[in-house]
Structure 1
Amino acid sequence: MKNSKIFVYAALALSAFGMQSCLDYDTPGDEFNANQTIVPPVISSGKADVIDYEKVISDEGVAEAIMALDDNIRTAQTGVYGIRGGKDGGAPEAHAYQFCYTLGPDNYVQYFCVPHYDFPYSNFTLRSTYDMCKGSIGGPGSGFSSAKLYIAPLLNTEKIDSVPELKAIFLTLFNYSAIENADLFGPMPYEEFKALRDKSPFEYNDVRTIYYGVKKNLDDAIACLKYYKDNRSQAYKEQLANVMYSYLTIVNEPYSKTWEDMEPWIRFANSLKLRMAIHMSGIEPETAKTWAEEAVRDGVITDVDNEVAIYPTFSGKDHPLVEITGWSDAVMGASFLNLLENLDHPYMKYLFTKNSVGLAKSPQAVEGSSCPATTPMNSVYVGMRDGVAPGEGQAAANNPYCGYSMLDKAYLAQTQAPLFLMKCSEVYFLLAEGALRGWNMGGTAKQFYEQGIRNASLEARSFMGNKYNQLVDDYLNVEAPKGIPYVDPQGLTPDMPSVTKIGVKWNEGDSPEVKLEKIITQKYIASFPYSYESWVDLRRVGYPKLFPILGVADGDGTIGAGDPWVQTKENIMRRIPWASDDPQTKEDIANTGIPALGEGATDTQGQHLWWDNGASNF
């Protein structure tokens, strides 16, 4: 089939996906079944992860291949955007991003809280944070749906084997999204999706198999990209640089250097390997150590020039949270804001708004609430307790929760905040945890921890007015939290004493457990607003310490209330259940999906994943 036809079919599929994206995201796999009939065509299925990087390719051969692949590359680019909430072939935008993040995982980790229950334009109601809402709970799966629909066809196209470095990069991006999806939902038909299988039944691979398959792909991709530097002509490199500069501007380093040695992409692949190693450190510690030390030897992202992100300066769109905040669809989570306040974090000086309306103590205030009778407008920073029953409507005049603290959208837009795939601060915290576990990370936990904090700001690295960088030195020396309690100005939830008992300053005399809590707490703050990695950490090690999420009765019955004063393991949602209505997908889930979760497993919110084994942290 000619490439022009391939692009037409993929574009039609993208349009179909985009039309439903504001309304419904179902289980990955549904789009190959009865619900949709337009799917990317099978090109040469089954060779997506075979990279013949020692193949002799002439300058003319690579030029011909790049020209033939033009439509496929354009389509694959939409898949990369889709990983972070892209829609209709464009850069990440508010509606799709909202379904990926702010209606789900952003609330599970308590960065944000949804202040109203009604979504009339999308035809669903979201009763609280853990609500099993069919209209939104599958939304985070849309990222990988995009990757498999629009990146996998390129990986299976015969011509891609004449540009092996391009294949290695897109295979790495596909696998990045696959790991995200496995960490959200658990098992999936990873091998069949990668091979572009387009018919049911699908066989679900367990999470361990997915991790090991991704590791093999990453090793092959890294070998390919290393081979490139000394074995491809300058003309070859220039042609590759031109096509990637046009279609995949997600690395921060100047392209003249990037395409000379592929270093940023090698570091990206190794950083993903390191992330995976840390995830599995509690279940297979020796293998995790081996993977991590391999990644560090090969080079991980330790400089902002090697970061990988979708940049507003290239995509032409602000961070989607600018628009979402303007809709009053996401206010700050009380636990996150209280943590920042207690540690005197730089963000408390500039990143959030105070209450936008005057707030009155509710007639339904709980007994013992210390909130005043009235809280004047613009007088306090106040977040919303995750899990509390939200209000109705998006107008603060009628729904006071919409008047709680939000991101300062004007500042966020001004900073051109990137949507990071791999931020160097995360890598530093991964290195810090590895060093704490006794792995050879090439430095000490203290060194990596402090570097992670120094590189943690969400602003674009080129933003000259970065206030975080002006305040970080003082922040590194915070020895103890302030002990500030949370008080709901409406009195609808009880006063909460701070659960934060640690400071920021590194102390060698601290126990390993306290050091781990410090690392993960600062990683959690540095990751904001990217919630997927923070949710992994919360599940696997129980940090950071947060307020318990309320309203667990709105879930599926497998999450408990736990301790009323601090979130415990019983109160943490462990995975997103599969939310499919497609009969064939439901049959696939029953036949291979649930068995792949493990013996005695259930398709529930409380079901632990492979790496989430509940063992002690040390």
Structure 2
Amino acid sequence: MKNIRKYIFLAVGVTILASGCKKLEDFGDTNVDQTRVDKAATKALLTYAMQRTQVTNGGLVLNSDGAIYAQYLSEGPYLTVSPFNSTGASLNRTYWNHYSEILKNLNQVILFNNADAPEASPASNGSKSNQLAVARIMKAYVFWKMTDMWGDLPYEEALQGSENITPAFQKQELIYKDLLKELTEAAAQIDGGAGPTGDIMFGGDMNEWKKFAATQRLLMSLRMSKVYPAVGGFAATEFSSAVAAGPLAPSETLQYSFLGGDANNYNPWYNNYSVSNRNDFAISKTIVDIMKANGTGTDPRLPVYGEPLASGQVVGLTFGILLQTNIPNLYSVIGESLREAGSPAYIFTGAQVQFAMAEGAKRGWIGGGEAAAKTFYDAGIDASLAQYGVADPTFKSATGIVYNPATGYQQIATQRYVATYLDGWEAWAEFRRTGYPALVPGANSQNGTVVPRRVGYPVADATTNKANYEAAIAQQGWTNNGINNRVWWDKP
């Protein structure tokens, strides 16, 4: 009632103001804040959108919830996500910040450029084609991450503002196919002009954006392996096309660089451990055990991934513990080099590409068969070790690591899991697709014996967009908004 009265009084006040003046413009610019702009330039929109990809809801890469879903990290004193309680906020995450803070701004970059608006002036914002290309590639990246988490999403009818506040949910299969089209077309429209001025990720280097688009296409194609498994089928064709387009080389990474000298742009793990002085998370015993399960009894990356204790050992905390547990001096936190103020977030890596190529060769999607699969697999391991500064050319030949065609799919998936450490949402998606490593919930699970297969739609959707929300559940063959429902590409 108080809010209703407040809005009535506000409406009355506006009416009185309007009736007491001939025209607002009679006052000239008296009431205009000269320090503010009416519309932001595309370089500012692009910068903001890119920054928000790493901080909105914890970011698309370095996200604590994602790291828990993938069992890279275990919770100690606060057991909020690992119980997998389907009514918890972490299991029904909001995605509206992704729409309002990231996608809306990227879409506005496209609208301004298509309208040749002064806000998109090439003189100060980069060539029109390159602005459009980067905005389209970034939109495709964000939508890909979102649809892999939730399933069907508002897509074609999204981002229309007040013109459509109840958008329909589009099927994930159609979203995937349109994203692949967008990535292909965006890369093709890159020209020789200046890159976008507001590109805080790659400094306007358009060759990096071409690699970004090709790498994403490669990984998206592989994600469809169970719905389009055939050699020569849709996924295989897209995969081969992505290879030809030039994804990352083994020694390359595409990363988001945080700023160690800027408190507004610290690595989120630095904020967690050093700024907030929290010890909520330790490296999970799940990944520690996986990294020790070989003939050497360890992995060169292990003391990088987890901080060794006084004993010199990296000690993982059992995932999904029943009782709250203090972490300091008992369990290893994230390694120091990965939680410094300026430590980067790895968006895509050369190691990921090599493991994708290994699986593509084993599936017959590209040539070379098992010999090529082994070559790519070995290169993936070498690339990952080099990425973390612990190169060891002998490790790929260790017992339990050396490539074996009979267990090739499992080995590729497991080494990919190790290589994508802390990129939890990606690792969780690949676990759902491949089944490896064989993750199981902890003792505190409230979801039975299964790891969730998706993130639930935000609870608010059931009331604010009820008809389309219910239609989305029905068109995916589900009976509810459950976290164990499988998205389109996730087949048993």
TM-score, structure 1 as length reference:
0.64
**Hey, what does 1:268 align to over in structure 2?**
212
Q: Secondary structure of 1:444's match?
A: helix
Residue 169 (structure 2) pairs with residue 223 (structure 1):
no
**Hey, what does 2:179 align to over in structure 1?**
214
- Counterpart mapping for 1:91-130 below 5 A: 96-97=57-58, 102-117=63-78, 126=80, 128-130=82-84
CA contact (8 A) 1:171 1:217 kept: yes
CA contact (8 A) 1:325 1:331 kept: no
What one-letter code is carried by the residue in structure 2 that aligns with 1:323? N
Q: Secondary structure of 2:393's match?
A: helix
Equivalent residue for 2:141, pick from 176, 182, 185: 176
Inter-partner Cα distance in structure 2 for 1:77 and 1:441: 40
Equivalent residue for 1:444, pick from 367, 372, 391: 372
**Hey, what does 1:454 align to over in structure 2?**
382
- In the TM superposition, residue 473 of structure 1 has moved relative to its aligned partner by 1.8
CA contact (8 A) 1:321 1:409 kept: no
**Hey, what does 2:25 align to over in structure 1?**
none
Equivalent residue for 1:348, pick from 302, 322, 326: 302
- In the TM superposition, residue 141 of structure 1 has moved relative to its aligned partner by 3.5
**Hey, what does 1:526 align to over in structure 2?**
419
Distance 1:196 1:520, change over 3 A: farther
**Hey, what does 1:567 align to over in structure 2?**
none
What one-letter code is carried by the residue in structure 2 that aligns with 1:595? A
Q: Secondary structure of 2:255's match?
A: strand
- Counterpart mapping for 1:255-294 below 5 A: 258=205, 262-285=206-229, 286-294=233-241
Inter-partner Cα distance in structure 2 for 1:589 and 1:406: 45
**Hey, what does 1:435 align to over in structure 2?**
361
- In the TM superposition, residue 309 of structure 1 has moved relative to its aligned partner by 1.6
**Hey, what does 2:41 align to over in structure 1?**
71
Q: Secondary structure of 2:170's match?
A: coil
Distance 1:280 1:98, change over 3 A: closer
Residue 257 (structure 2) pairs with residue 311 (structure 1):
yes
Q: Deviations over 1:268-325 (max 9, x none)?
A: 11111111110001112211001001111121111545x3221135985443223324
**Hey, what does 1:383 align to over in structure 2?**
316
**Hey, what does 1:132 align to over in structure 2?**
86
Distance 1:414 1:535, change over 3 A: closer
Q: What fraction of aligned residue pairs are identical, expressed as a percent?
A: 19
CA contact (8 A) 2:250 2:353 kept: no
Q: Secondary structure of 1:473's match?
A: coil
Equivalent residue for 1:156, pick from 88, 106, 111: 111
Inter-partner Cα distance in structure 2 for 1:474 and 1:321: 32
CA contact (8 A) 2:61 2:345 kept: no
- In the TM superposition, residue 176 of structure 1 has moved relative to its aligned partner by 0.5
Residue 433 (structure 2) pairs with residue 540 (structure 1):
yes
Distance 1:600 1:70, change over 3 A: closer
What one-letter code is carried by the residue in structure 1 that aligns with 2:401? V
Distance 1:270 1:128, change over 3 A: closer
Inter-partner Cα distance in structure 2 for 1:117 and 1:101: 19
- Counterpart mapping for 1:222-261 below 5 A: 222-225=187-190, 228-229=191-192, 237=193, 240-241=194-195, 244=196, 246-251=197-202, 258=205
Inter-partner Cα distance in structure 2 for 1:546 and 1:515: 18
Equivalent residue for 1:84, pick from 54, 58, 68: 54
CA contact (8 A) 2:259 2:267 kept: no
Inter-partner Cα distance in structure 1 for 2:468 and 2:483: 15
CA contact (8 A) 2:269 2:340 kept: no
Q: Secondary structure of 1:250's match?
A: coil
Q: Deviations over 1:188-247 (max 9, x none)?
A: 11112255565322100011011011112112112212xx24xxxxxxx2xx24xx3x42
Distance 1:172 1:143, change over 3 A: farther
Residue 468 (structure 2) pairs with residue 603 (structure 1):
no
**Hey, what does 2:350 align to over in structure 1?**
424
CA contact (8 A) 1:274 1:430 kept: yes
Q: Secondary structure of 1:468's match?
A: coil
What one-letter code is carried by the residue in structure 1 that aligns with 2:156? E
CA contact (8 A) 2:307 2:336 kept: no
Structure 2, unmatched stretches of 5+, are 1-36, 122-126
Which 10-residue stretch deviates more, 573-582 or 130-139?
130-139
Q: Deviations over 1:578-603 (max 9, x none)?
A: 1323564350453432123x224431
CA contact (8 A) 1:319 1:416 kept: yes
Q: Secondary structure of 2:47's match?
A: helix
CA contact (8 A) 1:271 1:301 kept: yes
Q: CA RMSD in A?
A: 3.1
- In the TM superposition, residue 540 of structure 1 has moved relative to its aligned partner by 1.2
Q: Secondary structure of 1:308's match?
A: strand
What one-letter code is carried by the residue in structure 1 that aligns with 2:180? K
Inter-partner Cα distance in structure 2 for 1:100 and 1:449: 23
Residue 247 (structure 2) pairs with residue 300 (structure 1):
yes
Inter-partner Cα distance in structure 2 for 1:432 and 1:422: 16
Inter-partner Cα distance in structure 2 for 1:152 and 1:458: 37
Distance 1:219 1:341, change over 3 A: same
CA contact (8 A) 2:215 2:248 kept: yes
Q: Secondary structure of 2:210's match?
A: helix
Number of residue pairs the alignment of both structures matches: 432
Distance 1:410 1:599, change over 3 A: closer
Residue 452 (structure 2) pairs with residue 505 (structure 1):
no
Q: Deviations over 1:440-498 (max 9, x none)?
A: 26881122112211221596xxxxxx6412xx22321211xxxxxxxxxxxxxxxxxxx
Equivalent residue for 2:270, pick from 322, 327, 330: 322
Inter-partner Cα distance in structure 2 for 1:142 and 1:457: 37
What one-letter code is carried by the residue in structure 1 that aligns with 2:268? P
Q: Which has the higher contact order (CA 8 A, sep 6+)?
A: 2
CA contact (8 A) 1:433 1:516 kept: yes
TM-score, structure 2 as length reference:
0.79
- In the TM superposition, residue 436 of structure 1 has moved relative to its aligned partner by 0.9
Which 10-residue stretch deviates more, 313-322 or 180-189?
313-322
Distance 1:141 1:308, change over 3 A: farther
Inter-partner Cα distance in structure 2 for 1:165 and 1:223: 10
**Hey, what does 2:152 align to over in structure 1?**
187
Distance 1:380 1:468, change over 3 A: closer
Residue 290 (structure 2) pairs with residue 335 (structure 1):
no
Q: Secondary structure of 1:309's match?
A: strand
CA contact (8 A) 2:66 2:425 kept: yes
Equivalent residue for 1:478, pick from 398, 405, 414: 398
Distance 1:408 1:603, change over 3 A: closer
- In the TM superposition, residue 138 of structure 1 has moved relative to its aligned partner by 4.3
Inter-partner Cα distance in structure 2 for 1:301 and 1:605: 33
What one-letter code is carried by the residue in structure 2 that aligns with 1:266? K
CA contact (8 A) 2:478 2:485 kept: no
Q: Deviations over 1:84-108 (max 9, x none)?
A: 225xxxxxxxxx5279865422112
Inter-partner Cα distance in structure 2 for 1:274 and 1:99: 19
